[in-house]
Amino acid sequence: MSFRSYKRLIYYLIAFLAIFLFLVFNLLEFELRSEEGEIETLSDAFWYSIVTLTTVGYGDMVPTSTGGRAIGYILIFLSLGVYGLLIGQISTIMANIKEHKKLGMYGTNFEDHIVVIGWTHFGKTVIDQLIKAGRKVAIVTRNRDNIDLLKELYQNKNLFVLYSDYENFELLEKVNIQKSNTVFINLEDDTEKLVYILNLKKEYSGLNFIVTLENSNLKQTFISAGVTHAISRNEIASRLLASYMFEPDVALYSEEILAYPTNDEEYDMKQFKVLEKNPYNGQEYNKVFFELKKNENVILMGLVRVEEGKRTAYKNPADNFKIRTGDYLIMLMNQKTQRSIKRVFNLEEGV
């Protein structure tokens, strides 16, 4: 309900209250003049008026004067209008609450989630993988028709949808953008993406941005603008296509591990952070490699170490390379072993 509608409702209530009080006091005055009057106090007048107005009609007291009965008639007819007004307003309020909730106007308490600005067919393939991986996703769309489609596609508690104009940065508070893990800018044009990121950074600092580019030559421009990851869709597709031409088995394997596994026959590469109490913390790489394979049926592919804000990937470190707290182990696993690794590492996958 809009502010104007609330204001109008308040005016109606004030007007009704004024009319009601006018009738109650006049009813009492008429009845006090009647010798047979049963309504003798202001409390009696209020009781009779409320009982009549609500159509309860106990009949324990009735007006006997001509003026009192006239007011009784007015109260009876008013009761019809009051019920109609109340039912109509309550229905309107409930419908507005439902609509506002559907449009995301009440916000979300998601944290460490993925915010997706824009909805496209390509974005759908990305969101499909995120939802399968159990990640929380907040989608911002400016197309009203997308709301019903998204609700139908993803009947999932990990999805939140906000209907908003992209340039309304204040409304992005509804998706809890400042506590998000990553913001995926999923707009159509590369230039539009760059301008949007620069404007968004003025409102919210410290966000991690990721974009896909149509023009791979703009990658360095986006990195310089503060984007964490700028990926060329054509570049990825061309590499995979070339791999299919001369090493098709490797290409098939690469395609499989890029997607989230849906059963224990499919494998995926995942990264898990090493906490202080992790059993592999402080151990040498080669020892961890063999223990993971023996105990969990997981293949350790390498690790990433974060030093002074810079991430360094060690794809095949020396055998005596020691694992530290805060390192990310990159491992190949299926769904069954993933559940086991979660228990061992005592946390979810990812950054």
Instruction: Please state whether 324 falls in left (phi above 0), alpha (psi between -120 and 50) or beta.
Output: beta
- Residue 273: band (very low, low, confident or very high) from pLDDT cuts 50, 70, 90: very high
Single out the residue of 231, 219, 311 nearest to residue 271, CA to CA.
Answer: 311
Strand order in the sheet with 137-141: 159-163, 137-141, 114-117, 182-185, 209-213, 229-232
Quote the CA–CA distance of 100 and 104 in Å, as a whole number: 6
Instruction: Judge if 3-102 and 265-345 fold alike in CATH terms.
Output: no
Rounded to an integer, the average pLDDT of 138-142 is: 93
CATH superfamily of 114-237: NAD(P)-binding Rossmann-like Domain (3.40.50.720)
Rounded to an integer, the average pLDDT of 65-85 is: 84
Helix H segments across 247-283?
Answer: 248-258
In the chain, helix, strand, coil percent, each to 5?
50, 15, 30
Average pLDDT, the chain: 87
SS3 state of residue 115: strand
Q: If one looks up domain 3-102 in CATH, what number appears? A: 1.10.287.70
Structure tokens at 196: 């949007």
Rounded to an integer, the average pLDDT of 16-40 is: 88
pLDDT, position 4: 67
CATH number for domain 265-345, candidates 1.10.3720.10, 3.30.70.1450, 1.20.120.530, 3.40.50.1010 = 3.30.70.1450
Instruction: Please state whether 346 falls in left (phi above 0), alpha (psi between -120 and 50) or beta.
Output: left
> Hey, where are the domains in the chain?
3-102, 114-237, 265-345
* 248 has pLDDT over 80: yes
Burial grade of 69 (CB within 10 A; 0-12, 13-18, 19 or more): middle
- Residue 3: band (very low, low, confident or very high) from pLDDT cuts 50, 70, 90: low
Quote the CA–CA distance of 331 and 273 in Å, as a whole number: 11
Single out the residue of 304, 299, 302 nearest to residue 334, CA to CA.
Answer: 299
**Which residues, in sequence order, are bridge partners of residue 284?**
322
Give the Å distances, CA to CA, from 29 to 53, 57, 68.
Answer: 19, 21, 9
| pLDDT, tens digit, 9 for 90 and up, residues 178-220 | 999 999 999 988 999 999 999 999 999 889 999 999 888 898 9
Helix H segments across the chain?
Answer: 3-33, 42-53, 66-102, 121-132, 145-153, 190-203, 219-224, 233-246, 248-258, 285-296, 335-345
Pairing of strands 182-185, 209-213: parallel
Contacts of residue 156, defined as CB under 8 A and 6 or more positions apart, other chains included, come to 131
